[in-house]
Chain A
Amino acid sequence: MSLGPMPQHLVSIGDLSAEGIVEVLEVAESFAEVERRAMKKVPTLKGKVVATVFFEESTRTRLSFETAAKRLSADVLSLSVASSSVKKGESLRDTVQTIEAMGIDLLIMRHGSSGAPLQASRWTEHAQVVNAGDGWHEHPSQGLLDCFTVRQAWAEQRSMAAAGTGATLFEGKQVLIVGDLAHSRVARSEVLAYTALGAEVTLAAPRTLLPANLDHWPVQVAEDFEEALGRADVVSVLRLQAERGSGECVPNLREFTSTFGLTEERMDRLKPGALVTHPGPMVRGVEISSRVADDPRCLVTTQVHNGVAVRMAILYLLLAGPRLEAAAIGQFAGAAA
Chain B
Amino acid sequence: MNAPFGAFEHPVVVAGGQVLTERGLERLDLVVHQGIVVELGASVDHPAGATVLDASGALVGPSFVDLHTHLREPGREQAETIETGTRAAALGGYGAVVAMPNTEPTMDTAAVVHMVLERGRNAPCEVAAAGAITVGRLGAQLAPMAELAALGVELFTDDGTGVQDGGVARRAMDYCRGLGVTYAEHCEDLAIAHGGCVHEGAWSALLGLPGQPAAAEEAMVARDLLLAATTGARLHLLHLSTAGSVELVRQAKARGVAVTAEVAPHHLSLTDASLKGYDPCFKVNPPLRPAEHLEALLDGLNDGTIDAVATDHAPHTPELKDLPFDQAPPGMLGLETAASITYEQLVAGRGATIERFFEVMATQPAKIARLDGTGARPFGHSVHGQRVAVGTTANLVVFDPEVRWTLEVDQLASKATNSPFSGARLVGKVRHCLLRGEPVVTDARSTR
Which residues does A use to contact B, with CB under 8 Å? 91-93, 111-116, 118-119, 122, 134-138, 185, 188, 211-217
Interface presence of B207 (CB below 8 A): yes
28 A-B residue pairings within 8 Å (CB atoms): A91-B322, A92-B322, A112-B324, A113-B324, A113-B326, A114-B209, A114-B278, A114-B324, A114-B326, A115-B207, A115-B326, A116-B278, A116-B324, A116-B325, A119-B325, A135-B209, A136-B208, A136-B210, A137-B208, A137-B209, A185-B208, A188-B208, A212-B200, A212-B204, A212-B211, A213-B200, A215-B201, A217-B206
Q: A111-B324, A211-B205 are in contact. List 17 more A-B contacts (CB 8 A).
A: A92-B322, A112-B324, A113-B325, A113-B326, A113-B327, A114-B208, A115-B209, A119-B278, A119-B279, A136-B209, A212-B204, A212-B211, A213-B202, A213-B211, A215-B205, A216-B202, A216-B206
CB neighbours of B319 from chain A (8 A): 91
CA distance A118 to B205 in the complex (A): 17
Of A92, A116, A119, most buried by chain B (CB within 10 Å of CB) is: A119
Name the one of B202, B204, B278, B323 contacting A118, with C-beta atoms under 8 angstroms.
B278
Interface presence of B144 (CB below 8 A): no
CB-nearest residue of chain A relative to B201?
A213
CB-nearest residue of chain A relative to B275?
A115
Interface presence of B213 (CB below 8 A): yes
Q: Chain B 321-339, CB within 8 Å of chain A: the 1/0 string? A: 0111111000000000000
Given contact pairs A115-B278, A118-B278, A135-B209, A213 touches B324 in the complex (Cβ within 8 A): no
Q: Chain B 19-44, CB within 8 Å of chain A: the 1/0 string? A: 00000000000000000000000000
CB-nearest residue of chain A relative to B213?
A212
CA distance A212 to B324 in the complex (A): 22
Residues of B194-222 whose CB lies within 8 A of A: 200-202, 204-211, 213
Interface presence of B49 (CB below 8 A): no
CB neighbours of A119 from chain B (8 A): 278-279, 322, 324-325
Contact B324 A137 (CB under 8 A): no
Interface presence of B378 (CB below 8 A): no
Residues of B299-329 whose CB lies within 8 A of A: 319, 322-327
CA distance A211 to B213 in the complex (A): 12
CB neighbours of B208 from chain A (8 A): 114-115, 134-138, 185, 188
Given contact pairs A111-B324, A113-B324, A114-B326, A212 touches B205 in the complex (Cβ within 8 A): yes
A-B pair count, CB < 8 Å, reads 75
A290 to chain B, nearest CB (A): 30
CA distance A136 to B323 in the complex (A): 17
A144 to chain B, nearest CB (A): 18
B209 to chain A, nearest CB (A): 5
B218 to chain A, nearest CB (A): 15
B416 to chain A, nearest CB (A): 16
A161 to chain B, nearest CB (A): 36
CA distance A215 to B292 in the complex (A): 15
CB-nearest residue of chain A relative to B322?
A93
Contact A114 B323 (CB under 8 A): no
CB neighbours of A93 from chain B (8 A): 322
CB neighbours of A113 from chain B (8 A): 324-327
A137 to chain B, nearest CB (A): 3
CB neighbours of B324 from chain A (8 A): 92, 111-116, 119
Interface presence of B277 (CB below 8 A): yes
CB-nearest residue of chain B relative to A123?
B322
CA distance A214 to B207 in the complex (A): 12
CB neighbours of B213 from chain A (8 A): 212
CB neighbours of B210 from chain A (8 A): 136
Residues of B269-296 whose CB lies within 8 A of A: 277-279
CA distance A136 to B208 in the complex (A): 5
Given contact pairs A212-B201, A213-B201, A92 touches B323 in the complex (Cβ within 8 A): yes
CA distance A161 to B89 in the complex (A): 69
CA distance A214 to B322 in the complex (A): 29
CA distance A112 to B208 in the complex (A): 11
